[in-house]
Amino acid sequence: MTNNRTSKILTPDICVIGAGSGGLSVAAAAAAFGVEVVLIEKGKMGGDCLNYGCVPSKALIAAGKAAQTFRSSDKFGIAEHEPQVDFSKVSDHVHDVIATIAPHDSVERFEGLGVHVIQSAGEFVSPDTVKADEQLIKARRFVVATGSRAAVPPIPGLAQTPYLTNETLFELKQRPDHLVIIGAGPIGLEMAQAHRRLGSCVTVIEAMRPLSMADPEHADLVIQKLKTEGVVIHANTNVSHVEKSETGIKVSISVDGQGESAIEGTHLLIAAGRTANVASLGLEAAKIEYSGRGIKTDQGLRTTNKRVYAIGDVTGGPQFTHAAGAQAALVIRSILFRMPINQNSIVMPAVTYTEPEIGQIGLSEEQAREQLGDKLKVLTADYSGNDRALTEGKGQGQVKLLSNPKGQLIGASIVGPGAGEQIGLLTVMISKKMKLGALLGVVFPYPTLNEVIRKAALAYYADAPKNPWVRRILAFLRKLG
C-alpha cells in the first residue's frame, strides 16, 4: 500500500467503512491473510453492539436477573425479599463489561494486526475513491458496514421532549422512577423487564402485537411473564402526542381511534425499530442504490457498484451481530478467493433475551403452513415435563418443531430457560437439512434442557406403533424365532 504524503492517496486492497462487528471481522480476516486493509470509523470502535447494543443490554439484563433471584427464592425454601439495588453500581457493571471487551476491538489491536485505521468519517467522492481525514483511499474493493441507529418515529411533540435511545440509555446513573417505552419488540421488552427487576415502574406502548416477529403462542408466554412481574403493556395502541411534564414526560395514547388517555413517567425510551446509517456516505457519487431501508445488495452482497460490498444492518437485512459476522465471512471468501457466495444460504437464528428467552430458526409456523398446508407436522414438548427445568423451578416453556412430510426440520421456536443456547442445535440441523431422526441416535446428558428438544422430535414417530405395516413386519420377525 502506498502513502504519498503529497497526494495523500492510499491504495489498499480493501477499504472497510465502519468498525462494528461486521467491519472488524472483515478487516481482521483480511489482515490475517496479509492483505492490505484500511479501516475507517468516525465513532467508537466496536460500533453499536459493543457500546450501545448487545453488550450493555445483556449486562443490564444479567443485573436484573440477579435482583429477581431475591424475589423468587421462596419456592426453594429460601426467604424471598426485595433486593437493595444501587443503580449507579449497576451502571458501573455495564461499563466494566464494555471496558473489558473493548481492547479486543481497539485501534491498537487492529493496528497491531497490520490494519491502517483512520478515525474519521468516510465518504465516497467517486465510484472508486473514498475520502477520510483529508486522505483519499483508492481500493480494489470496498466494504460498507456502517450499521444502523435507533429509528425515531414522527410523533408530534417528540422533538421538544427529552427521550432516550439505546445510545443514551446506558449512560443513566440513577434508576428511572417510571420508564415509558415506545416499542414492544425484543429491545423494548428486554429493557422493560430488566428495568422493572431493578426497581423501576415500566410501561410499554406498542402499535401492533408485542413481539410480532415471534411465534404468537411463545410471545404470549413472555408477555404474561412480564405482566406478572409488574410491567404494564399497552398493545395495539397509538401514541398521538408526547410532551414534557412536571414529572418528566407525558405520553398521550389512544386505542382504535377512541378517546385519548395519558401516561406520565420520568423517562421515555424510544425502541421502535432501527434505521440504516446511509447518510453522508456519498453513495450517489459511488453510484450505489439505496433507500430509507438501506443499501441495495444482490445475493453476493455486492451493491450496484460492483467494486463495493455492503454487510450488516446497513443493508436493511437481519439486524443481528451474528448476521453481520456471517456476511463478513462470505465477503472475505468473495474478495480474497473469488468464490461465489449467496447470502440467502445463511440460516439465521434469532433470540429475544427476556426471561423466558425465545429462540427462533427457519420458517415460522404461519410461513410453513402456507407452504405445506395440512402436510406440515407441528411437534411440541413442554418444559413442564423436563426434570432439569423442574429442579430449577423453570417449568414454563415449550419447544415447537416444524417438519415437512419427509421428517426434515424446516423451522423451530423455543420459549423457556436457555432457549438462546438450545436454538444452536436446531440451527445446525436446518443448515445441514437434517431430519428429525438424526436426534434419535443422540444421547443427551440427564438431566439437561436439551432433552425437551429430543422429546419433541420423538413426537414425529408417535404414530409408528399404530402403523399396520410396522405391526406386520414385527409379526413376521417374531415368527422367525
Q: Which residues are annotated as a binding site for FAD?
A: 58, 122, 146-148, 313
DSSP 87-98: HHHHHHHHHHHH
DSSP 336-375: HH-----GGG----EEE-SSSEEEEEE--HHHHHHHHGGG
Instruction: Please tell me whether residue 412 adopts helix, strand or coil conformation.
Output: strand
Backbone angles phi, psi at 152, to 5 degrees: -110, 110
Binding residues, by number, are 58, 122, 146-148, 183-190, 206, 273, 313
CB 61: neighbour CB atoms within 10 A?
Answer: 18
Nearest to 399 by CA among 432, 333, 444: 444
Nearest to 140 by CA among 31, 266, 10, 233: 10
End-to-end CA distance of the chain: 79
Binding residues for NAD(+), by number, are 183-190, 206, 273
How far is it, in rounded angstroms, from Cα 92 to Cα 100? Answer: 12
Q: Which three cell numbers stand for residue 221?
A: 408466554
Q: E strand or H helix at 218, and its extent?
A: helix 216-228
Backbone angles phi, psi at 441, to 5 degrees: -90, 5
User: Buried b / exposed e across 170-196, counting CB within 10 Å, b at 16+?
Assistant: bebeebbebbbbbbbbbbbbbbbbbbb
**How far is CA 17 from its chain centroid?**
22
Beta-carbon contacts of 161 under 8 Å, excluding residues fewer than 6 positions away, are 242, 243, 244, 249, 268
How far is it, in rounded angstroms, from Cα 472 to Cα 465? Answer: 11
CA distances from residue 145 to 26, 122, 128, 235, 275 in whole angstroms, order as listed = 9, 11, 17, 34, 13
